[in-house]
Amino acid sequence: MGQNQDYFNEMFESGAVRPPYRGLGDWAESMPAELRSLKQSEAEKLFRRIGITFAVYGEGGDPDRLIPFDMFPRVFSAEEWRKLERGIKQRAKALNAFLLDVYGRGEIVKAGLIPQHMVYQNEAYERAVAGFKPPRGVYSHIVGIDLVRTGPDEFFVLEDNCRTPSGVSYMLENREIMMRMFPQLFKENRIAPVEGYPALLKRTLASVAPQKCEGEPTVAILTPGHFNSAYYEHSFLADMMGVELVEGQDLFVEGDFVWMRTTEGPKRVDVIYRRIDDAFIDPLCFRPDSMLGVPGLMNAYRSGGVTIASAPGAGVADDKAIYTFVPEMVRFYLGEEPILKNVPTWQCAREEELKYVLDNLPDLVVKEVHGSGGYGMLVGPRSSKGQIEAFRSKIEETPENYIAQPTLSLSTCPTFVEEGVAPRHVDLRPYCLVGERIELVPGGLTRVALTDGSLVVNSSQGGGVKDTWVMAE
């Protein structure tokens, strides 16, 4: 099994196998190549049979394309996970406090900690919810925090996803398939379970039912429909939670309430877990040409007749320029030091930082403030002179649209490749649920850059996924 000295290898340290991976060394070494390819095609067949063929993180592309699955799990010790869990919960709490504040009194802006224009002129800031306090003061109910590791104890947050982070069905199905293919591995290793996620999600959503809810809350998932790249996940979660999957045309507003059309007549819906963007949820409030939303939904929401999760306007907290202020949010709202660090970030909107970025483009990663899915970015060390110069012109034209970061030495994890097992770069997206409590299952979605040397793990750029293990105490 190869070792790469330039990056932190999560399995090996000074030539020895690190404790979390002890149960996997012999397993990988003793698996003949024929058995490995047999298991790999078995995994692909299972993925096809259950219909997991959507682009992770809403990246679009071929709806029938499989995201490559790597059978070598990524492993965290219970101790490593404890630190991560504390940091993730702290961050989710601070992001929600920020959202409640900027749609209310705006104390953090008044204190001069975040420039006013970055919040109130942000395209993700929704004036329609200013002054409204959602149930329990929660704006972002499912927070996906993307993490990278650079050393034994060094974890950095790459970005926050406060709107509708996807990929959780992969976390659950990766585990299901691994347990089916390698039952012995699970007997020999004590691995914390992730299958409780749908029950936790349902409990979280029910805990933010609106004031006017009577009795047991009715939860529904609002999907844009089967042409959406994450439709499999919408239907998967609806099945797992035992709730209805609805499209805009299945709902209507009457009085202060939202109703679902059923064969037995209209049924009231209390909590809508929406998987469509703000712009499309209500044609009377946002885009009038939207065919995906529910006319009048925002009136019902503001009058306390229904809860929308995550709340319209939550996206202002996951903007890449706002990201740079999250450590300040932790200090300002919680009075604590951040447990998880941000990646050092230069904002091109600031003149002196722009100068540094333009002078050092070949060494930096530059991202669009509103970009996602690995698009609209420049990885300086991996780009040609021509690409760098073309990107330089874009930054000079609209500097406020870009931020820049150093090229991090992402950790590597053993991965099955054609020639055997080799280290490949990985990141992690855990899913933090925020309602009556803040909780998360032990694990998340590990994405892996399958191309040798590549740091881009997005599925649209050739990345794959792995099962993520947290060793039980």
pLDDT digits (tens, 9 = 90+) for 116-137: 999 999 999 999 999 999 999 9
Task: List 366's β-bridge partners, or say none.
Answer: 378, 404
Residue 301 has pLDDT above 80, yes or no: yes
> What percent of the chain is modeled with pLDDT above 70?
94
pLDDT at 51 over 80: no
What's the rounded Cα separation, in Å, for the pair 121 and 12?
Answer: 48
Burial of 66 (0-12, 13-18, 19+ CB in 10 A): middle
List of residues 6+ apart from 284 with CB closer than 8 A: 295, 296, 298, 299
> Would you state the structure tokens that stand for residue 373, as one six-digit string?
């899915």
User: 379-426 pLDDT, tens per residue?
Assistant: 888 889 999 999 999 999 999 889 999 988 899 999 998 878 899 999
The confidence score (pLDDT) of residue 325 equals: 96
Of 404, 412, 401, which Cα lies nearest the Cα of 455? 412
Residues 6+ apart with CB under 8 A from 418: none
Q: How many residues does the chain have?
A: 473
pLDDT of residue 25: 86
* Alpha-carbon gap, residue 414 to 459, rounded angstroms: 18
Q: What's the pLDDT at 49?
A: 82
The CA distance from 297 to 79, in Å, is 44
pLDDT the model gives residue 56:
45
Q: What is the pTM of this model?
A: 0.93
Nearest to 137 by CA among 147, 145, 129, 126: 129
Helices (H) and strands (E) in the chain, counts: 13, 23
- Which residues fall within 8 angstroms of residue 83, CB to CB, at 6 or more apart? 153, 155, 339
How large is the average pLDDT for residues 193-218? Answer: 96
The answer for residues whose C-beta is within 8 angstroms of residue 16's C-beta and 6 or more apart is: none
Mean pLDDT, the chain, integer? 91
| pLDDT score for 61 | 46
Q: Tokens for 416, please give them.
A: 């099955």
Name the band, by pLDDT with cuts 50, 70 and 90, for residue 1.
Answer: very low
Q: How much is the average pLDDT of 198-208?
A: 98
Q: How confident is the model at residue 458 (pLDDT cuts 50, 70, 90)?
A: confident
Helix (H, G, I), strand (E, B) or coil at 12: strand
The rounded distance, in Å, linking the Cα atoms of 365 and 380 is: 6
- The average pLDDT across 433-447 equals 97
Cross-strand partners of 156 = 148, 341
**What is the rounded average pLDDT of the residues 12-31?**
90
Q: Where are the beta strands (DSSP E) in 103-201?
A: 142-149, 155-161
Residue 59 scores a pLDDT above 80: no
293 vs 3, which has greater pLDDT?
A: 293
* % of the chain residues with pLDDT over 90: 77
Is the distance from CB of 171 to CB of 194 less than 8 angstroms? yes
What are the chain's domains?
Answer: 12-341+408-470 (no CATH), 344-406 (3.30.1490.270)
Residue 47, sorted as left (phi over 0), alpha (psi -120 to 50) or beta, turns out to be: alpha
Identify the band that residue 2 occupies on the pLDDT scale cut at 50, 70 and 90: very low
Is residue 461 predicted with pLDDT exceeding 90? no
pLDDT tens track for 383-394: 899 999 999 999
Nearest-angstrom CA–CA distance, 356 and 358: 6
Q: Give the angle subtended at the CA of 302 by the CAs of 116 and 123, to the nearest 5°.
A: 30
Q: Distance between CA 450 and CA 452 in Å, rounded?
A: 6
- DSSP letters for 281-337: S-TTTS-TT-SSS-TTHHHHHHTTS-EEESPTTGGGGS-TTGGGGHHHHIIIII-S-
Report, as an integer, the average pLDDT of 266-283: 97
Structure-token pair, residue 189: 């290793």
Over residues 252-259, the mean pLDDT reads: 96
Phi, psi of 45 (to 5 degrees): -60, -40
Contact between 423 and 9 (Cβ < 8 Å): yes
